[in-house]
Amino acid sequence: MNIQELINNNKTTIVDVRTEAEFADGNVNGSINIPLNEIVDRIEELKGMQPLVLCCLSGGRSGQATAFLQAQGCKDVHNGGGWEMVKAQKA
C-alpha cells in the first residue's frame, strides 16, 4: 500500500506531531495532535492505533517520531511528510 492509499484508508490514524498552536492554525481533517515531545509518553497509545501516518510542517519532526516508534517495535508507522502534502492526498 502506498502512502496515498494509507492516508485514505479508514483504518489509518493520521497523527500530527506539531505543537498544539501549530495544529490549531491548520490540520488534516480527521487527524489527531500528539506533539513530538509527547510521543515517548504516549507510545502504548500509539501502538494501539496502527497503521499510523505521521506528519508535521515539513516532515522532519514526523521523521524523528516515525524512526523512534519503529525502533520501539511499531511496524506499521509511516512518515507522511508535511501536513499540507498529507491533506492534499486525502480524498
The pLDDT tens digits for 1-60 are 899 999 999 999 999 999 999 999 999 999 999 999 999 999 999 999 999 999 999 999
What CATH architecture applies to the domain 3-89? 3-Layer(aba) Sandwich (3.40)
Query: Which listed residue (28, 39, 56, 65) is catalytic?
Result: 56
Cβ 40 vs Cβ 26: under 8 Å: no
The answer to whether residue 56 is catalytic is yes
Report residue 1 as a C-alpha cell: 500500500
Say if pTM beats, i.e. exceeds, 0.85.
yes
